[in-house]
Amino acid sequence: MNTKYCSNCGNQIAAESSFCNFCGANQDAYITIKKSEAKNDKINFPDALKDYFKHLFSAAGCDTRREYWFSYVWMTLFSGFLYSLWLVSYFSFYDTFTGVKFLKFLGFVVSVGLYFISISMIFSMCRRLHDANISGFFLLFLLVPIFGWILILILLCQRSSEEGKRKYGPKQKPSINSLLVWWTVVAFFGLLAGSSEMNKLESNYEEVVRQEQLDDEVQKEKEDSQDENDDDDTYDNDDSYDSGDNYYHNDYRYDDDY
């Protein structure tokens, strides 16, 4: 008897079955996998970005190497843009009151954007592992520094597996509830990081203001000291003139008496 694998649970069932005997999943999805394979192999750079947002926060299904690495490049570019925007803005506005207010707002935006990229890429990595017939739980190795990161990189570079496609099925759009939950997580951690950055900005700005005040006080003391020295010099010159003048007059009177 010809068999095939259920597109949902991965168990073997009869080739002519429309539904899985184990989980009851509709097997029309199996045909969808076959039709989409050629399209996924020819996906281009812009299409990878569209597909990424189409299946945002969804771990179901598979991503080919081409899909994953194209979307990875997109997210890396976005991350680089956010970091560059923050650095340029920070060094341009950190020392003014209005600039600090702008940086507070920008810090929240950048933090939310970076957390969005990080969390959404985890789902994309999970689909890439599924495509290689590897469980998404292997991503827990990301918690192991260096060794775990190298291992995950190697797994992400593995070739696509027919068994993985049959086992994990096609990609599915996330539900509304899933989107709400994960956008809430992104916003929470983004705002938390943004608040921390805001406190740093206020502390740095206060330090800049204190330093400017100290510089002004030192400069004022130098100017006052210079003015006092000038006054002393003027007073000494007047005394010398008076002494000489008196001496002249005394000599003059002495001559008259003589």
Radius of gyration for the chain, computed over Cα atoms and rounded to the nearest angstrom: 38
Q: DSSP readout, the chain? A: --EEE-TTT--EEETT-SB-TTT--BTHHHHHHHHHHHHHHT--HHHHHHHHHHTTT--SS---HHHHHHHHHHHHHHHHHHHHHHHHHHHHHTTSHHHHHHHHHHHHHHHHHHHHHHHHHHHHHHHHHHHTT--GGGGGGGGSTTHHHHHHHHHHTSPP-HHHHHHH-S--PPPHHHHHHHHHHHHHHHHHHHHHHHHHHHHHHHHHHHHHHHHHHHHHHHHHHHHHHHHHHHHHHHHHHHHHHHHHHHHHHHHHH-
Tokens 């469980």 found at: 135
Residues in Cβ contact with 110 at an 8 Å cutoff, skipping those fewer than 6 apart: 82, 83, 85, 86, 194
What pLDDT, on the 0 to 100 scale, is given for residue 71?
94
Give bridge partners of residue 43 from the DSSP assignment: none
- Neighbour count for residue 62 (Cβ, 10 Å): 28
Pick from 122, 128, 125: which is nearest to 164 by CA? 128
Q: Identify which has the larger pLDDT, 38 or 183.
A: 183
> Which of 65, 233, 62 lies closest to 155 in space, CA to CA?
65
What residue ranges do the domains of the chain occupy? 1-42, 44-258
Question: Is pLDDT above 60 for 249?
Answer: no
What is the distance between the alpha carbons of residues 67 and 51, in angstroms, rounded to a whole number?
8
- Average pLDDT of the segment spanning 52-81: 93
The pLDDT score that the predictor gives to residue 254 is 46
Band the pLDDT of 222: cuts 50, 70, 90: confident
Report the pLDDT averaged over residues 1-7: 66
In the prediction, which pLDDT does 38 show? 47
pLDDT over 80 (residue 215): no
Q: Give yes or no for residue 41 having a pLDDT over 70.
A: no
Residue 166 has a pLDDT of: 86
Model confidence at 237: pLDDT above 80: no
pLDDT class for 131, splitting at 50, 70, 90?
Answer: very high
Residues 6+ apart with CB under 8 A from 22: 6, 9, 11, 13
Whole-number Å distance between alpha carbons of 118 and 112: 10
Q: In this structure, what token pair is assigned to residue 230?
A: 């000038």
Structure token pair of residue 118? 């990080």
Taking the C-alpha atoms of residue 134 and residue 163, their distance in angstroms, rounded to an integer, is 10
pLDDT tens column, 71-97: 999 999 999 999 999 889 888 877 777
Q: Tokens 């600039």 map to which residue?
A: 99
**Does the pLDDT value for residue 224 go beyond 80?**
no
In this prediction, residue 7 carries a pLDDT of 62
pLDDT value of residue 90: 81
pLDDT for 45: 87
* Whether residue 193 has pLDDT greater than 90: no
- Mean pLDDT over 218-247 rounds to 60
Inform me whether the pLDDT recorded for 30 exceeds 90: no
- At 258 the pLDDT is 44
What pLDDT is recorded for position 239? Answer: 52
Q: What is the pTM of this model?
A: 0.65
